[in-house]
Structure 1
Amino acid sequence: MTGRFPIEDVTPSVSCGRYPAKAVVGELVPVSAVSYREGHHALGVNVVWRGPDGETEPFTRMRPGEPGLDQWHGTIRPDRVGRWTFTVEAFDDPYRTWRDAVVKKIGAGQGLEDLANDLYEGAEVLDLAAKIVPGHDEDRVRDAASALRDEQRSLFARVSPALDLEELLWHNPVRQLVTTTRSYAIWVDRKRALYSAWYEFFPRSEGAEIGPEATPIKHGTFATAAERIPAVAALGFNVLYLPPIHPIGKVNRKGRNNTLVARPEDVGSPWAIGSDEGGHDAIHPQLGTLEDFRRFIGVAQDHGMEVAMDLALQAAPDHPWVREHPEFFTTRADGTIAFAENPPKKYQDIYPLNWDNDYKGLRDEVYRVVMHWVGNGVKIFRVDNPHTKALNFWQWLIAKVKESDPDVLFLAEAFTRPAMMNGLGKIGFTQSYTYFTWRTTAWEMRQYMEQLLTTIDWMRPNFWPNTPDILHESLQHGGPPMFKIRSVLASMLTPSWGMYSGFELFEHVARPGAEEYIDNEKFELKPRDWAGAEKAGRSLAPYIGRLNQIRDENPALHWLRNLRFHEIDNSNLLCFSKRDPDTGNTVLVVVTFDSANVQWGNTVLDMPALGKDWHERFTVVDQITGATYEWGQHNAVRIDPYVEPAHVFVVQPAQ
């Protein structure tokens, strides 16, 4: 900071400005700072911000917060992808100093003789202001200055024109003794970085056929998997995530349910990447060719979806890297290469990479692989276990990719310690998986969301009720109502959510003693009878589709900073809302966490958070059932999970 006035606690600032904060195009980004000065003269504070090309945008005047705290607040709205910067400036505001003093003196009964000096001093300030204001306002300011100097006028006639300039000179202030902070950065992504709905499926299972004992008869291809795309798009998903599509290792291949010995016909885990058929830049030959993959991407784009590719930086024992770059791995004392372990679990079919043997060589090879897929139309990567790789590598890779392709996004699949998850967000990951799955009470979920709101400047959450690896006991035992509950929470609390295929069919049987699916699709083909399940009424697909439709129709659900919780006197219920600052669109949700019993609750709503006065009554329309209710601050609500476990209300505009 250089200048006259202290400026402290600037936000957004990630790790004291070491890393850029995050935003998306069109997002209202709050900026705050603490600034103060000696005496009673007025202080002004503003934000100066610059776009990706270094161009200066019109500055944003900041307004004071709660009296006595000296905290100032403003918002900026970036309109392009790239690296933006901002500084906060504090300045002496002579017009406001003059105006405040004159208003107080007149209020105290002082007359023309007492205010003679004040009037001429005010005219001098307005002379300066006339050089600053837009051209069409210049005459107005000069006329006010002349009025202050006109001794033939009454006191009221002399000061009124100058006092009426308050709004104009708020936005076009005379600034003296300007103090400037250091520059802070904000990386601005396209909106998909914040608002997205992901669907995961295994292409090899779509169109596949299996025989007794899950014996593969026919392997799915990109062509057969593309036939599933219209149905997924109809559910309202806009990101289609594919597990690894590369050749699968044949050495130490795992069998069904992660058995150590595979049958000759077993397909293996897609995460055991690489064989004599190729590595990370190749496609599994049974899925098709590179041209087939491009056509698959094209079909997805035609249906309004993007394809996200899995980036799993590990290798099967027969990956080409093992032969060509043994320095990429860890060699043990007996000369063998170390396979992956997470005691007591062993992954004999996977070799982890060693980032300390040949860092530059490995780094450049991974960059080559990523850019190969970017060049073939992939703009989103779901990164497998990034917390087990060197963080300086990720920081370099993400920045390097964005130099040429700033619209590429990276989702971190990191279920690990909070510091590591936050660190991955700070160094550049666009989104992150979270602990959502394990927050199973209303109190836990509210506390967790309030925690996530404090990290929004660097870690964007993506909520998944299930993954191929994770089948929480709440879904194992909660029945169909719990599937609805978890999908409502995931899709309404955060702008980004996702689900793994089979969720809509209520798949819930776990491997004994584990928190994952039995007959796991990671190790076998799993074709599903989508149409038959929906025809028989055993599908959650229509419900999922309606939730995504509600998200698309209500801009309030496209943001996270606007999340507010409301009080409700039943610990099994959660009440929250979101309000869009531009349109006033407001969504109010009440959801139960009990999938077995009817729950009653009484709300105490934060009415200003809904855009209402405390005494107002208003109409809400349930977006799931179509029912209409008249609500106010206090409301009784009844939720039967076997009927509908949640109310998703849209607050209607006042008539």
Structure 2
Amino acid sequence: MEKFIIYQAFTRLFGNKNNTNKPSGTIRENGCGKFNDFTSEAFNGIKELGTTHIWYTGIIEHASKTGYPEFGIQASPAEIVKGQAGSPYAIRDYYDVCPDLAENIPERMKEFENLVQRTHEAGLKVIIDFVPNHVSRGYKSDSKPESVFCFGEHDNQSDAFNPNNNFYYIPGQLLRLPNIPDAYQPDVYSEFPAKVTGNDCFSANPGDHDWYETVKLNYGVDYLNGHTKHFSPIPNTWYKMLEVLTFWASKEIDGFRCDMAEMVPVEFWEWVIPEIKSRFPSVIFIAEVYNPQLYREYINKGKFDYLYDKVGLYDTLKGVLQGRQSATDITKCWQDIDDIKQHMLNFLENHDEQRIASDFFIKDPFTIIPALVISTCLNPGPYMHYFAQELGETAADAEGFSGFDGRTTIFDYWGVKSQQNWMNNGKFDGGQLTDEQKRLRQLYVDILNFARTEKCVSEGMFYGLQWANKDNPEYDNDKIYSFLRYTTEEVLIFICNFSDEIKVVNLEIPEDAKEMSGLKGLCHCKGEKISFNFGSTDIEFAQKRFLRINHEVEAKDVLIYRIRK
């Protein structure tokens, strides 16, 4: 079974060649990437990273301050748009694509369909967002099939909760947005009665940090009365979302990344995912779920193929890299999800998280090697990579709405400098990369392809060595993490050094590890010593060295021993 490597491309930013970068600039000032930026050259560069799937982020039409009135597309009211371009998670039409991404706006859906076809011809699979929990304020679809009714079209707005409504309401109260002190001003967005905000803010006065640009969808849960569930008969919202998923699955996409899936009742997923897979059996579903107590429910009952491992491995690796946690804490990460490890998706960057090379994370992108190897090789589940991560993107700009926070903006139009260096005006040959960026990219190429192609990683068994070295005076438990992955043919021994110093490690491999992995009884065998910074060399092992292997591991590096049986 091949390990998935998912490349997340923030579509609006990926191919943008404009380097004006005016804070809060318009699309005409700062430019915007297009579907057509994904050329054969771009795909070749993406595939060099071992990529198997591309997650095109921000495809579906969302609220924006940019309008195209000549094509019947009006700008959203400014009061309910964050930034100039708007959040891709404030959907304003589930049945259309973002017009910003098209060269020929009337043909925008055809351009997206061509993108799907080009991606498949390049040997890659397509993932897009499904945003089930909320929509933009003022949602109105002008592209839906005639047989489909719009969300909220038949709601009884006098009911705070009604299982037949698509939205929740705050009867008798006018919405007061945080950026409009007087909601009665003319020519501003008005909403009466106020709808409940997307992050479960049951107030007519959402704050600056609420998702005030969105409205929560009603799946039949009465949140203000004991979270009572009204799932029989099936709520109207469920059927509408089945229609949305069917619409996009019919475009021959290969998977959905489901935004904030845990804010939607698991019973909906239990119903809708089998419905979709009965017609599109190869489509995968990835859940953004942050509560570890819900992991098994959303896999076993909700039928998700993969879940984010954010609160576990990502947060722990970040803590270890920043010196706030011990490497030994990684053990709990795999122990907590050992029975569902094949369903857990790992990452070190995405659109929600700070860039590794930012001032807010670890600054030096080369120090990521031990975390990257662990994130890609600790378990057989997918690994997700964010565009320009391999280039050491620093996100050192205050682009607009989100400000200077170490994240690449999802709200504004912008040119990502490191990405533009790699794009080299559309050649996608890295022609403008610095020597350091080239070296970093090659490290990612080597590590991601290693993780994807190694049978020990995708199909092999795992054995953690940390416990066996807890009392070892020649092993720094806070800075070193080690483990085995093995098949019937070979064993990989990983020694990961998070320290700023070279570490001499006298690793103990216990008897049961040798027994389980097949090392026991081997008198002599050939092996390979792999260092991503310093290449690899062939070595020969004798049986006595399996109990204690003496290593010198470079700072912020990993040694991998491949032992062939």
Name the TM-score, length of structure 2 as normaliser: 0.72
Find out whether 1:331 has 2:235 as its counterpart.
Answer: no
Find out whether 1:303 has 2:122 as its counterpart.
Answer: yes
Find out whether 1:452 has 2:310 as its counterpart.
Answer: no
In structure 1, what residue type is equivalent to 2:111?
D
- 1:237 and 1:579 mapped to 2: Cα distance? 23
Map residues 306-325 of structure 1 onto 2, 5 A cutoff: 306-313=125-132, 314-320=134-140, 321-322=150-151, 324=153
2:255 to 380, 387, 392: 380
- Structure 2 stretches of 5 or more lacking a match? 68-77, 103-107, 141-149, 156-164, 174-192, 202-206, 222-229, 321-325, 423-429, 470-474
Q: Specify whether residues 287 and 338 from structure 1 end up closer, same or farther in structure 2 by C-alpha distance, changes over 3 A only.
A: same
- Structure 1 residue aligned with 2:449: 549
Q: Could you tell me how far 1:201 is from its partner in structure 2?
A: 1.0
Q: Could you tell me how far 1:478 is from its partner in structure 2?
A: 5.5
- 1:422 and 1:523 mapped to 2: Cα distance? 36
Find out whether 1:361 has 2:249 as its counterpart.
Answer: no
In structure 1, what residue type is equivalent to 2:504?
W
Find out whether 1:466 has 2:466 as its counterpart.
Answer: no
- Structure 1 residue aligned with 2:383: 497
- 1:332 and 1:570 mapped to 2: Cα distance? 57
- Is the 8 Å Cα contact of residues 206 and 220 (structure 1) preserved in structure 2? yes
Find out whether 1:409 has 2:300 as its counterpart.
Answer: no
- Is the 8 Å Cα contact of residues 206 and 228 (structure 1) preserved in structure 2? no
- Structure 2 residue aligned with 1:649: 561
Q: Could you tell me how far 1:306 is from its partner in structure 2?
A: 0.4
- Is the 8 Å Cα contact of residues 575 and 589 (structure 1) preserved in structure 2? yes
- Structure 1 stretches of 5 or more lacking a match? 1-190, 254-259
In structure 1, what residue type is equivalent to 2:51?
F
In structure 1, what residue type is equivalent to 2:520?
D
Q: Could you tell me how far 1:534 is from its partner in structure 2?
A: 3.6
In structure 2, what residue type is equivalent to 1:608?
E
1:626 to 516, 520, 536: 536
Q: Specify whether residues 379 and 592 from structure 1 end up closer, same or farther in structure 2 by C-alpha distance, changes over 3 A only.
A: same
In structure 2, what residue type is equivalent to 1:482?
T
- 2:154 and 2:10 mapped to 1: Cα distance? 30
1:213 to 22, 32, 40: 22
2:484 to 577, 595, 617: 577
- 1:597 and 1:621 mapped to 2: Cα distance? 24
Find out whether 1:268 has 2:82 as its counterpart.
Answer: no
Provide, for residues 6-48 of structure 1, a one-character-per-residue CA deviation record: whole Å limited to 9, x for no partner: xxxxxxxxxxxxxxxxxxxxxxxxxxxxxxxxxxxxxxxxxxx
The structure that has the greater radius of gyration is 1
In structure 1, what residue type is equivalent to 2:170?
R
In structure 2, what residue type is equivalent to 1:438?
D
- Structure 2 residue aligned with 1:602: 506
Q: Specify whether residues 548 and 535 from structure 1 end up closer, same or farther in structure 2 by C-alpha distance, changes over 3 A only.
A: same
- Secondary structure in 2 aligned to 1:293? helix
Q: Could you tell me how far 1:487 is from its partner in structure 2?
A: 1.5
- Is the 8 Å Cα contact of residues 252 and 261 (structure 1) preserved in structure 2? no
Name the TM-score, length of structure 1 as normaliser: 0.62
- Is the 8 Å Cα contact of residues 199 and 216 (structure 2) preserved in structure 1? no
- Is the 8 Å Cα contact of residues 436 and 465 (structure 1) preserved in structure 2? no
Q: Could you tell me how far 1:618 is from its partner in structure 2?
A: 3.4
- 2:264 and 2:412 mapped to 1: Cα distance? 24
Map residues 15-30 of structure 1 onto 2, 5 A cutoff: none
- Is the 8 Å Cα contact of residues 128 and 253 (structure 2) preserved in structure 1? yes
Provide, for residues 141-172 of structure 1, a one-character-per-residue CA deviation record: whole Å limited to 9, x for no partner: xxxxxxxxxxxxxxxxxxxxxxxxxxxxxxxx
Map residues 166-565 of structure 1 onto 2, 5 A cutoff: 191=1, 195-208=3-16, 209-214=18-23, 215=25, 216-217=27-28, 218-226=31-39, 228-250=42-64, 266-274=84-92, 279-288=93-102, 289-313=108-132, 314-320=134-140, 321-322=150-151, 324=153, 326=155, 327-333=165-171, 334=173, 335-341=193-199, 345-356=209-220, 359-416=234-291, 418-427=292-301, 428-434=303-309, 435-439=312-316, 440=320, 441-456=326-341, 460-471=343-354, 476-477=361-362, 479-495=364-380, 496-508=382-394, 517-518=406-407, 520-527=409-416, 528=419, 529-530=421-422, 531-532=430-431, 534-539=433-438, 540-559=440-459, 562-565=461-464
Q: Could you tell me how far 1:309 is from its partner in structure 2?
A: 0.9
- 1:651 and 1:615 mapped to 2: Cα distance? 10
1:587 to 492, 497, 509: 492
- Higher RCO, 1 vs 2 (CA within 8 Å, ≥6 residues apart): 2
- 2:463 and 2:81 mapped to 1: Cα distance? 53
1:636 to 527, 550, 553: 550
- 2:455 and 2:220 mapped to 1: Cα distance? 46
Provide, for residues 619-652 of structure 1, a one-character-per-residue CA deviation record: whole Å limited to 9, x for no partner: 331343112334422111122226xx00133223
Provide, for residues 307-350 of structure 1, a one-character-per-residue CA deviation record: whole Å limited to 9, x for no partner: 11111112111222456354211111311112224787211211
